A and B are shown apart, each in its own frame.
Chain A
Amino acid sequence: MKIKQISVFLENKSGRLARVTRVLAENKINIRALSIADTTDFGILRLIVNDPDTAHGILKENGFSVNVTDVIAVEITDSPGGLADPLAYLKEASINIEYLYAFLTRASQAALVVFRVEQIDEAIRVLQEKGIKILGGKDVYEML
């Protein structure tokens, strides 16, 4: 139920993001989803890719500060309230969300939202009890 997210430290200077994506491309890594958090000095690139372990190794070899964290990918119905409901369930269970970001897939009508939470097992249990669909690693890495 957990999927692996790759995070990369980026300085705020030109060409850094281009370089990360070039390194991934050269190694046939496909990016499924991404988001960037930025401050005035630096950014953190967060990626969901088709092969997280390989991507992690390659980025490390290329000198980036990289880490791997577990996140959950939730399928959200493409209708009003689609995101509000799961957020309400997590709040009720007092689970804090560090950050989240959404992405779309060609294969599904639904939107997918990546959640980064501290109590990940608890979050999975709460959402599943409420009938929210959580995607497994294979679903996400191999989706088209």
Chain B
Amino acid sequence: MYWDREFETMPREKIGELQLERLKATLDRVYNNVPFYKKAMDERGIKPSDMKSLDDVRKLPFTVKQDLRDNYPFGLFAVPMDDVVRVHASSGTTGKPTVVGYTLNDINTWAGLMARALTMVGAGKSDVVQNGYGYGLFTGGMGVHYGAERIGATVVPISGGNTGRQLMLMQDFSSTVLTCTPSYALYLAEEGENAGLDFKKLPLKVGVFGAEPWSERMRHQLEEKLAIKAYDIYGLSEVLGPGVSMECPAQQGMHIFEDHFLAEIIDPESGEPLPFGQQGELVFTSLTKEAFPIIRYRTRDITVLNEEPCSCGRTHVRMRRVTGRTDDMLIIRGVNVFPSQVESILLEFGETEPHYLLVVDRKGNLDDLEIWVELSEKWFSDKVRQLEEVEGRLKGRIASVLGISARIKLVEPRTIPRSEGKAKRVVDKREL
């Protein structure tokens, strides 16, 4: 089923023409409205009109997350704030989030792309979509919500967490589509099993899972335990939110909605473009966004693009599951976490040279974060109460900056391994 047959099945040559036309229009807008992009292009002597072919996009400089931070909060917006109807934000590395904005047209485009994604996996107006993505600054909740409304489905905006209620409403409302992170879906499955729930008897048929890496192994588990088909969805707030790419029923990669995004694969070391079929870092240029257009954004996600025709009939290029990152970002319970955030908190606490380690594990299908902090002399006290107070304050600050709770473990000085020059900050024991 197609939401937008014309665009979803457009011959590749025509997609290329459309992309070039939209790229020029986007560059015109950012050149004239966003000083950051104007400066970057002027420095290289590039004008929007220099885009003669799609390959010319390579002349443009990359945009990285740091650029978003440097222009916090609204410096990269290409429209007056009067035209911005919504903002979303994701966690940054130093406590300040990275902010993105949407015009009414952007919200409509986004809803349309999410509608496309949901339709792709068989959802429609008679479905009940239980949306377990977090609502709020995170794009997951509202992104899926608007798309599900657009296809005329009944949306249950339950947001994340509250497992008992999720299971109750899933039965009482006869939910047919579940949208949440894959690890949370697995947790729901196990909790349901423990409560004696037989998912085979429920009308639930489809899961749309994303916002964190997962594996084929998890897909099989989810499909078996929940008695559904489980599909992968991809997106990031800097580019849009959920609905940048979506897996079709062939389950052989996610179709990138190329009429709205120009995808490239680059060598993360050299920044040089790589041909389709080679593994590298995914880079996106938005083609239709108004409030927050983005040019050659380095996602840090590692994947492979596949241009081969797909059995579903869609012509859009497919990206393989994201298999890693080129930076140290972790995704824990669907939340982006950078080790440097922990570092900045420790600096706030007066540590001059903090030594710490993030230990990530998956316990009972839920991500678990424990942060080891070397206890310096300055914090040490002969009184238990005082040490527990330090732990408590750290825990509170970390929960508010990272957006997820973590256990704090104080450890003896010089016990966290130091490797050559650069300390190891993360131990990830999760097996996906």
Contact = CB atoms under 8 A, between A and B. Distances in A.
B380 A67 contact: yes
Interface in B362-383: 375-377, 380-383
Instruction: Place the interface of chain B in its size category.
Output: 10 to 19
Given A9-B375, A44-B387, A63 B413 contact: yes
Interface stretch (B2-10, B104-112, B204-212, B404-412): B404-412
Interface stretch (A34-42, A84-92, A105-113): A34-42
A9 B409 contact: no
A98 B383 contact: yes
B384 interface: yes
A10 interface: yes
Contact of A67 (B377, B411, B413, B415): B377
Interface in A37-62: 37, 39, 41-42, 44, 46, 60
A116 B382 contact: yes
A67 B411 CA distance: 16
Contacts of A98: 383
B410 A7 contact: no
Given A9-B375, A42-B387, A66 B380 contact: yes
Contact of A65 (B375, B383, B384, B388): B375
Nearest to B381: A67
Contacts of B384: 37, 39, 44
A5 B382 contact: yes
Contact of A44 (B376, B382, B413): B382
B165 interface: no
Nearest to A5: B382
Given A9-B375, A39-B388, A44-B387, A64 B413 contact: yes
A67 B382 contact: yes
B418 to A, nearest CB: 12
Nearest to B410: A42
A63 B380 CA distance: 13
B217 interface: no
B410 A41 contact: yes
Contacts of A44: 382-384, 387
A69 interface: yes
B378 to A, nearest CB: 9
Contacts of A7: 380-382
Q: Secondary structure at chain B's binding surface: helix, strand, loop or mixed?
A: loop
A22 interface: no
Given A9-B375, A39-B388, A44-B387, A65 B413 contact: yes
Nearest to A118: B383
Interface string B308-339: 00000000000000000000000000000000
A69 B382 contact: yes
Given A44-B382, A69-B382, A9 B412 contact: yes
B377 A66 contact: yes
Contacts of A99: 383
Contact of B412 (A63, A69, A116): A63
Interface in B391-429: 409-415
B380 A65 contact: yes
Residue in A7, A39, A60, A65 with the greatest tally of chain B CB atoms within 10 Å: A65
Contacts of A41: 409-410
Nearest to B407: A41
Interface in A1-27: 5, 7, 9-11, 16
B393 to A, nearest CB: 16
Contacts of B415: 11
Interface string B281-306: 00000000000000000000000000
A60 B378 CA distance: 13
Contacts of B410: 9, 11, 41-42
Contacts of B383: 44, 98-99, 116
Given A11-B415, A65-B380, A69-B382, 9 more contacts: A7-B380, A7-B381, A39-B388, A44-B382, A44-B383, A65-B375, A66-B377, A67-B381, A116-B382
Q: Which 3 A-B pairs have the closest CB atoms?
A: A7-B382, A65-B380, A63-B414
14 contacts: A7-B380, A7-B381, A9-B375, A9-B412, A39-B388, A42-B410, A44-B382, A44-B384, A63-B412, A63-B413, A65-B413, A98-B383, A99-B383, A116-B382
Interface of B: 375-377, 380-384, 387-388, 409-415
